[in-house]
Structure 1
């Protein structure tokens, strides 16, 4: 018997993932990503995206060719170290460097040299928030100040993030240089959080037939989903603000799997201090903590850190805080969000009479269904927590009247991360009582 053993769905995923020692899926990932990057480089209407595609297509193609070489080597020498898990980790690291970190550095240098088409609006917003935080004690402009901006700049006057996001803009507020680009610090924060998450899972006990080897492969796949998957690499290279939030959520789940609830609360609390999208993950983690009688320890960080981040902005300018983090995301700002990806919620909101109300009602209904699920069947493992967060965010992104395609990186990474969170340990065998042994001896 194995505690917390993978379900049938996870076993099917393992069968697919283990094909050719994991190399078959690696080849599919890198090959499809190279095609996506090449198409982006040629057809995208966003110049930062086209610049990313031109660099990333080469990185993905080199990775795909490396996997082809591995497959050929595996046929001749199946036990070769060049086709094992460490080699797959090395190719993943190369791919992330070449498809995400290199474009970040390249576009930052070009932007510092005068190119104004080498960063998405999110980068400018975060850097301006850092400047305002340093000069005025709050990253937010009030409604009157935004109204006084030229019509074409009012959208950039809004900062629809939690106050902690402005920290990534502070280096730019101090020095104007390529290394102070907010994306550089998004990448640093992402790498640090993912490294801590991997270390937490590697040091957590995992024994038995689905122990260390399987966990290593599952962990690699989870890291790939958070780094080299095009929706993640493209986002980090051109905008980047979602990646440290995602990485901190993955760290929180890894710490939960390692039975470190207080630290899990701190990690998801840091994510919640950056962006509202982390709050649902914090809520589910608190419910997980309650099942283990550690709910207060999780909640202390998960709730305390976002509140601590909000308090200074609330004291400096309450109206500006409400305008940016509530009115604007809800569609009541001076301008509307340009987030218009063709998901069901957006299509319903734009195509049906009173469509926005219908989409909002569906979103609320989905939230109620998840809440009922949490009450009736609260998650008792980190795996269940990750799955609820992944499917819940997927439903929310699909039904939100205004959303972005890039937000899919959250559910994709969370769902792929879940298999690495299993903690299989063999059940202690029951030793027969002495009288049972003596009874057997007598019968013999």
Structure 2
């Protein structure tokens, strides 16, 4: 047992070095097979950083891991994000979010009534416009407003805040972090995952999915700790960003029901639904038609504009066969969602890791079978599954309280009186 644990220790220099080398290969190869220029520029900055991190991980037993993590953060996150923000290099999603913030500030709705092209479509719910408000307020004048107004910076800040809150929520009642499988506990593992291509690439080039990921994971963490109101508030915020967050309400409710009973599940779901309605209603009431066409019809490939999400996934391939193929993909999508719902009833999740896996499985089914999708969407369920293992601990989410056992001295036997005659 001791030998087995030693081989799986996350402090192993070889393990960290191998991980950074894999990240370097990903950063070098992925930009070569992808079209967007921001992806290629990110690979130019991230690949050398990962190689330096791999060398640093082997250089020192005491500080090598920490040095390697921060080298990766600097080269894969800080430097490319700052350069992209200052030069205006970004995917189209960043411009969409910043325009929606400007429209919300001026007209109280993030949707154009009659978009002239696909670039003017806003496929997000009204809550996403919050991350575009800094650009609307600060403008583009000068390098500092250009940096502070970038929507990616605030998306990254929201993601980091959610991770910090989830880490606080996952701590035991005595203030110490719970033990995770294999001993993967510590900030280095979490920061290292943020510096990995799974998070660093979308953070630098787009960033719009990070707040959703962070809020969903925070809701699961609160539900695992039996905090239904906090879980519902996090879910409400997530559900106001994208409609793809709505299936998480069922997973969180199932987790709350298993951990604390039906009453806590109802409370959490009611807070989530009520809060989402309050956050989405202003934009929905002002622009009901544009919201339906741009948020629901457009991502499903049924709007008047062709969606750029055209990766060769099963649902997309079926939809490309014509109307019959589209309806077949939609039917498979509904069947997959029904199967996940049945699994929640038949075998509800018992902890954070199990709930994150169930939500990740449902999202994978949705992204794979949707009539329009892209490979980048799969980073969201992957991040949920990994973060649950880094922060959530093992199978027992509620550790048994430590009971101090006190030694009880043996009872003293009372002296037997001896008759005076027998002395």
**Matched ranges for 1:349-388 at <5 A:** 349-350=319-320, 354-388=324-358
Question: Are residue 120 (structure 1) and residue 97 (structure 2) matched?
Answer: no
- Does the 8 A contact of 1:43 with 1:50 survive in 2? no
Q: Which residue of 1 aligns with 2:415?
A: none
Q: Which residue of 2 aligns with 1:253?
A: 220
- 1:306 to 1:101, Cα distance in 2 relative to 1, 3 A: farther
- 1:24 to 1:259, Cα distance in 2 relative to 1, 3 A: farther
- Structure 2: gaps spanning 5 or more residues: 406-410, 412-423
Instruction: Give the CA deviation at 1:426.
Output: 4.0
- Does the 8 A contact of 2:125 with 2:243 survive in 1? yes
2:399 to 399, 411, 425: 425
Choose between structure 1 and 2: higher helix proportion: 1
Q: Which structure would you say has the larger Rg? A: 2
**Matched ranges for 1:22-41 at <5 A:** 22-41=12-31
Instruction: Give the CA deviation at 1:374.
Output: 1.2
Question: Are residue 242 (structure 1) and residue 242 (structure 2) matched?
Answer: no
Q: Which residue of 2 aligns with 1:189?
A: 158
Mean Cα deviation higher: 90-99 or 232-241 = 90-99
Mean Cα deviation higher: 386-395 or 33-42 = 33-42
**Matched ranges for 1:37-52 at <5 A:** 37-52=27-42
Q: Deviations over 1:209-262 (max 9, x none)?
A: x8379665387545544x223132111111110011101112222222333222
- 1:326 to 1:103, Cα distance in 2 relative to 1, 3 A: same
Instruction: Give the CA deviation at 1:353.
Output: 8.5
Q: Which residue of 1 aligns with 2:417?
A: none
Q: Deviations over 1:51-74 (max 9, x none)?
A: 11111112211211111224xx4x
Mean Cα deviation higher: 24-33 or 189-198 = 24-33
Instruction: Give the CA deviation at 1:369.
Output: 0.8
> Bigger relative contact order, structure 1 or 2, given CA contacts below 8 A and separation 6+?
1
Instruction: Give the CA deviation at 1:15.
Output: 6.6
- 1:238 to 1:257, Cα distance in 2 relative to 1, 3 A: same
- Does the 8 A contact of 1:269 with 1:282 survive in 2? no
Aligned CA-pair RMSD: 3.0
For residues 189 and 398 of structure 1, what CA distance do their matches in structure 2 show? 27
Mean Cα deviation higher: 17-26 or 409-418 = 17-26
**Matched ranges for 1:409-420 at <5 A:** 409-419=379-389, 420=391
Instruction: Give the CA deviation at 1:160.
Output: 0.8
TM-score, L = length of structure 2: 0.83
Q: Which residue of 1 aligns with 2:195?
A: 228
Q: Which residue of 1 aligns with 2:317?
A: 347
- 1:93 to 1:296, Cα distance in 2 relative to 1, 3 A: farther
2:127 to 158, 164, 177: 164
1:106 to 83, 96, 109: 83
TM-score, L = length of structure 1: 0.80
- Does the 8 A contact of 1:267 with 1:301 survive in 2? no
